[in-house]
């Protein structure tokens, strides 16, 4: 007689997504639910606003760190190390400043009802993609084509 394999209970999916810039519970879409309904819009607005807030806190932390740590070291190597550290932090904050601007534009799209649809072809971008990259403006296919074209132009 053949042994019957025991069925093990499905492992529970992690209910929270943890990443460097946000914590959220993934949205579970029902089959009959319309795309970008009020609940989904509120979900993404919350993600974007929390992400923006975390970036702004980081900007403030950098400013305070640079003010507190700014000392005039007598040793040129120590001075150079501090200047390089500040330079890296400022470049990072500049990138985050641009990201904050993009987040603000995305929040504006939410208010206009244009969020979640590809700018190029108009199809739904998809909830999973938007949770991975809330500022995405293109579906995976259009973004892939854009990257291929860009790669061909560069050589």
Residue-level pLDDT at 119? 95
How many folded domains does the chain comprise? 2
123 CB-near residues (< 8 Å, 6+ apart)? 117, 139
User: 54: how many CB neighbours lie within 10 A of its CB?
Assistant: 15
| Cα–Cα dist 39/69, whole Å | 45
Residue 70 sits in the same domain as residue 107: yes
Residue 122 sits in the same domain as residue 104: no
- pTM for this structure? 0.75
CATH value at residue 50: 1.20.120.910
Phi, psi of 90 (to 5 degrees): -65, -40
DSSP for the chain? Answer: -PPPPPPPPPPPPPSSEE-SS-EEPPP---TTPPTT-HHHHHHHHHHHHHHHHHHHHHHHHHHHHHHHH----SSHHHHHHHHHHHHHHHHHHHHHHHHHHHHHHHHHHHHHT-TTB-TTT--B--HHHHHH-TT--S-HHHHHHHHHHHHHHH-
Average pLDDT per block of 10 residues along the chain, 155 residues long: 47 44 75 92 94 90 79 84 89 92 96 94 94 94 96 87
Evaluate whether residue 91 is within a structural domain: yes
Residue 41 sits in the same domain as residue 111: yes
Residue-level pLDDT at 52? 94
Residue 60 sits in the same domain as residue 41: yes
Range of the domain at 135: 116-155
Evaluate whether residue 18 is within a structural domain: no
Residue-level pLDDT at 22? 55
């Amino acid at each position: 007689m053949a042994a019957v394999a025991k069925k093990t209970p499905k492992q529970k999916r992690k209910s929270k997504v943890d990443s460097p810039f946000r914590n959220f519970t993934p949205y579970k879409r029902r089959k009959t639910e319309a795309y970008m309904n009020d609940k989904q819009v509120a979900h993404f607005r919350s993600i974007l606003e929390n992400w923006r807030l975390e970036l702004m806190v980081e900007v403030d932390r950098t400013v305070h760190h640079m003010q507190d740590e700014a000392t005039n070291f007598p040793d040129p190597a120590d001075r150079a190390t501090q200047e390089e550290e500040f330079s890296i932090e400022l470049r990072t904050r500049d990138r985050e400043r641009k990201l904050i601007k993009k987040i603000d534009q995305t929040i504006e799209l939410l208010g206009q009802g244009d969020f979640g649809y590809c700018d190029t072809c108009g199809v739904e971008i998809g909830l999973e993609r938007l949770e991975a990259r809330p500022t995405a403006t293109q579906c995976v296919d259009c973004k892939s084509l854009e990257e291929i074209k860009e790669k061909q132009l560069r050589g």
